[in-house]
Chains A and B, each alone.
Chain A
Amino acid sequence: METVIIDYISQELVRDPALLPVADETSLLESGILDSLSLLQLVVFLEGRFGITVGDADLLPEHFESVNTICAYLRTREPEKQAAHG
């Protein structure tokens, strides 16, 4: 999961090569990698790739602070995803 997200962010969202490589704990917000539009791109990617829907209430900075926090958030959504498929 981490690798998939890092690859996407590195290839699609990082505008300044000086910010590469992106690590699990890189601050995506402080570094400026994530802004409003790139967050939307990331959310659309996560929804498509992991089969979840990110609601407005989940669009919190703490969920998207780093790849680690994104993965932690996605793991909290796992039970809902399984229930939806089960």
Chain B
Amino acid sequence: MGDGPAGRLLRNLEGVVYWAAAAPVLGRMPAALGYRIACWRGDWLSARQPARRAEIAGNLQSILGDDVSRSAVRQVTRDWFRLASCDAVDVKRLRHSGRALQRLVEIRGREHLDAALGAGKGVILCSGHFGSYDCAFSMLGASGYPVTTIGRWQHNYTAGISAAERRFWDKVQARPLRRHRTRPNIEPWPGRLDVATRAAAVLRANEVLTIVIDAPPLDCDKARTVEVPFLGREATLVPGVVTLAQVTGAPVLMGFLYRSADYRHQVLEISAPVPVEGDKAAAFSRCTAEVSAAISARPAHWRYWASTIDLASLGLVGAERDAPRLPELLPLPDDGLLTDRPKGSLAAPG
């Protein structure tokens, strides 16, 4: 299963089989065995995708530089594939009440969430494309918090896939996540004027609004971007979450779900409110600093290592690292599932 057209086809087929048949079984197995097998699948994918492995390793070295040794790069790259495989098991363990996943996740900082909701202005819970962030949001919903997410379902925006394929990915990926959320995702896209007002309605109802803040900006948002320190560089990001917090008065908390060394247990760490008063860029940089710190501490959890085009859009790698992205026939989950920006292969918005 190489990186040529036949290899990509096989990879996509393997992804379909994994999500449709294997992951549901793994999600019902004893956790130790289910996640162990998911890791084996990650190792198998890593061994058979040299181009992607090289892309991840190259981006790690390019951005983290001397902070990371060659052996550490190898380990992070291997773990990146393992974590991507484990994500599917997380999604499947959200079945029914979601208790199968909840049992494996320790929530730290729940008191910050409760206190913020107690103030009555809702809560903005920010994260990055870090670990099983989408499962973290849904798991909070399964734990009794009214959760709505700002973010696009990737399969709805990927160009060139059929309606049947969209239905498939919606069924195997999005539906298990969606069923634990209070309202449909608020999906930003050019021309959608009601995104922020719908988000404000969630906060006015004193609910939890979740969002990942490390997404490369859409073209239509580029006038609103700011440069913030990120992973030792300057990243170009949209500080919309700060505007939303300043307009609504909702507190901003940070939340990161990270996986333990046994791959099955996870910790969802929720921070105290981040100050968002004053200058927008400065306030936003306090939020992105938390994302940056989480990635630095556990680099394998960050999805964007495998997407040079996204890293370039963020301003983290230069044009010389803009290797052509391997075209995907399907929005494979281990290729940045449910990220909230269109991939390079997407059709330009109308």
> Which A residues have a C-beta under 8 Å from some C-beta of B?
15-16, 29, 32, 34-37, 39-41, 43-44, 54, 56, 59, 61, 64
Counting CB contacts under 8 A, is B224 at the interface?
A: yes
From 160 to 205 in chain B, residues with beta carbon under 8 angstroms from any chain A beta carbon are 188, 192-201
Q: Which of A35, A56, A59, A64 has the most CB of B within 10 A?
A: A35
Cross-chain contact B223 with A36 (CB below 8 angstroms) = no
16 additional contacts (CB under 8 A) given A35-B220, A36-B195, A39-B193: A15-B224, A34-B193, A36-B192, A36-B193, A36-B194, A36-B197, A39-B196, A41-B243, A43-B197, A44-B200, A44-B247, A56-B194, A56-B197, A56-B201, A59-B193, A64-B193
Counting CB contacts under 8 A, is B221 at the interface?
A: yes
Complex CA–CA separation, A39 to B72 (angstroms) = 46
Taking CB atoms, residues of chain A closer than 8 Å to B220 are 32, 35
Cross-chain contact B240 with A37 (CB below 8 angstroms) = yes
Taking CB atoms, residues of chain A closer than 8 Å to B240 are 36-37
Q: B-side binding surface: helix, strand, loop or mixed?
A: helix
Complex CA–CA separation, A54 to B194 (angstroms) = 12
Complex CA–CA separation, A49 to B181 (angstroms) = 34
Question: What is the size category of the interface that chain B forms with chain A?
Answer: 20 to 34
Q: What is the 8 Å Cβ interface bit string for chain B, positions 228-252, against chain A (1 contact, 0 not)?
A: 0000000000001001100110000
> Which B residues have a C-beta under 8 Å from some C-beta of A?
188, 192-201, 220-221, 223-224, 240, 243-244, 247-248
A23 to chain B, nearest CB (A): 21
Taking CB atoms, residues of chain B closer than 8 Å to A43 are 197
Cross-chain contact B223 with A40 (CB below 8 angstroms) = no
Q: Which of B193, B221, B244 has the most CB of A within 10 A?
A: B193
Question: Given A40-B247, A64-B193, are A15 and B223 also a contact pair (CB < 8 Å)?
Answer: yes
Taking CB atoms, residues of chain B closer than 8 Å to A59 are 193-194, 197
Q: List 21 A-B contacts (CB under 8 A).
A: A15-B224, A29-B193, A34-B193, A36-B188, A36-B192, A36-B194, A37-B240, A39-B194, A39-B197, A40-B197, A40-B199, A40-B200, A41-B243, A41-B247, A44-B247, A44-B248, A56-B197, A56-B201, A59-B193, A61-B193, A64-B193
A6 to chain B, nearest CB (A): 20
A12 to chain B, nearest CB (A): 11
A29 to chain B, nearest CB (A): 8
Cross-chain contact B244 with A40 (CB below 8 angstroms) = yes
Complex CA–CA separation, A21 to B145 (angstroms) = 46
Question: Given A36-B194, A39-B193, A40-B197, are A16 and B223 also a contact pair (CB < 8 Å)?
Answer: yes
B321 to chain A, nearest CB (A): 30
Taking CB atoms, residues of chain B closer than 8 Å to A41 are 243, 247
A9 to chain B, nearest CB (A): 15
Residue of A nearest to B238 (CB): A37
Cross-chain contact A35 with B221 (CB below 8 angstroms) = yes
Complex CA–CA separation, A53 to B248 (angstroms) = 14
Taking CB atoms, residues of chain B closer than 8 Å to A15 are 223-224
